[in-house]
């Protein structure tokens, strides 16, 4: 991934338009730091060591990217008009074109880093240099039931007047609608008898990948 740097965007529209800005632009004229990805309470915090930059990334930025990997800020995301279980960043994926999907932990799970193959706590990422992050692709990561305690959501629209984005939960009804023309994939999805396991990211994401909807 030569040439990859840590970047951010401010809105979903910027994400759709591929308008990413290098994070190091936030610290121009001040000390040049390293970008740190920290696991905190069902999500990730992204820190530069610069107070101004960190506040923008925490309170204002919509998403952060490094190469093919995207982390979306949950601070301004709402499900049924209520905040999500985390206000940190979570790992996201390009879904069905311009949509942005997310796998969000809905319970306190200390082992989530290992299960999601995202063992990058405290990893220092040089702003202007490329590195190899210890993160597998979704295709490799998901087929072995690694995300059984996560649920899938997606964003596909503009924010409300308060700057908050509504997210859609990928439940049984949504998956049945999505796979109405694909009996075999729907049968594969519904073959999991327990609802909690059926609606987990471990069951849903492999189906979305098989459908060609996840990059």
Question: Higher model confidence: residue 142 or residue 9?
Answer: 9
Here the tokens at position 131 are 């590195």
**pLDDT tens digits, 174-189:** 999 999 999 999 999 9
- Ordered DSSP codes for 117-140: TB--TTEEEETTS----SB--HHH
Max mean pLDDT among 41-45, 46-50, 59-63, 140-144 falls in 59-63
Q: What is the DSSP letter of 214?
A: B
Q: Is residue 192 part of a domain?
A: no
Q: Which residues on adjacent β-strands are paired with residue 95? A: 99, 214
Taking CA atoms, 113 is separated from 24, 46, 69, 105, 135, in Å, by 26, 15, 15, 11, 10
Range of the domain at 100: 6-170
Closest CA to 101 of 70, 145, 80: 70
Q: Is residue 138 part of a domain?
A: yes
**pLDDT tens digits, 77-136:** 999 989 888 889 988 989 998 899 998 875 433 333 333 333 333 334 443 322 233 333
CB-based contact 44:71 (threshold 8 Å): yes
- Per the structure, the count of domains in the chain is 1
Q: Which residues on adjacent β-strands are paired with residue 150? A: 105
Q: Is residue 89 part of a domain?
A: yes
- Other CB atoms within 10 Å distance of the CB of residue 140: 10
Over 84-95, what HEC string results?
CCCCCEEEEEEE
**pLDDT tens digits, 155-180:** 988 999 999 999 999 999 999 999 99
Q: Is residue 43 part of a domain?
A: yes
pTM of the model: 0.79
pLDDT of residue 106: 59
Closest CA to 44 of 126, 115, 104: 104
Q: Is residue 207 part of a domain?
A: no
Specify the residue for token string 């979305």: 208
Question: Higher model confidence: residue 1 or residue 23?
Answer: 23
Q: Is residue 193 part of a domain?
A: no
pLDDT of residue 189: 96
Rounded-to-integer distance, Cα 71 and Cα 148, Å? 19
Q: What share of the chain is helix, strand, coil (3-state, %, to 5)?
A: 25, 30, 45
Q: Is residue 200 part of a domain?
A: no
Q: Is residue 79 part of a domain?
A: yes
């Amino acid at each position: 991934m030569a040439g990859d740097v840590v970047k951010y965007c401010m809105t979903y529209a910027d994400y759709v338009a591929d308008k990413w800005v290098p994070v190091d632009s936030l610290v121009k004229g001040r000390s040049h730091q390293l970008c740190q990805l920290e696991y905190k309470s069902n999500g990730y915090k992204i820190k530069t060591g610069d107070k101004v930059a960190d506040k923008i990334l925490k309170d204002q930025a919509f998403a952060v990217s490094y190469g093919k990997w995207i982390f979306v800020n949950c601070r301004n995301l709402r499900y049924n008009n209520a905040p999500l279980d985390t206000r940190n960043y979570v790992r996201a994926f390009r879904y069905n074109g311009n949509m942005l999907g997310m796998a969000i932990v809905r319970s306190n799970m200390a082992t989530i880093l290992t299960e999601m193959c995202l063992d990058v706590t405290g990893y220092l990422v040089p702003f202007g240099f490329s590195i190899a992050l210890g993160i597998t692709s979704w295709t490799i990561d998901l087929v072995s039931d690694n995300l059984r305690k996560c649920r899938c959501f997606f964003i596909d629209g503009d924010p409300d007047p308060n700057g908050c984005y509504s997210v859609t939960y990928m439940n049984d009804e949504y998956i049945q609608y999505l796979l109405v023309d694909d009996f075999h994939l729907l049968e594969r999805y519904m073959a999991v008898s327990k609802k909690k396991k059926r609606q987990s990211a471990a069951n849903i994401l492999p189906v979305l990948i098989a459908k060609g909807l996840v990059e």
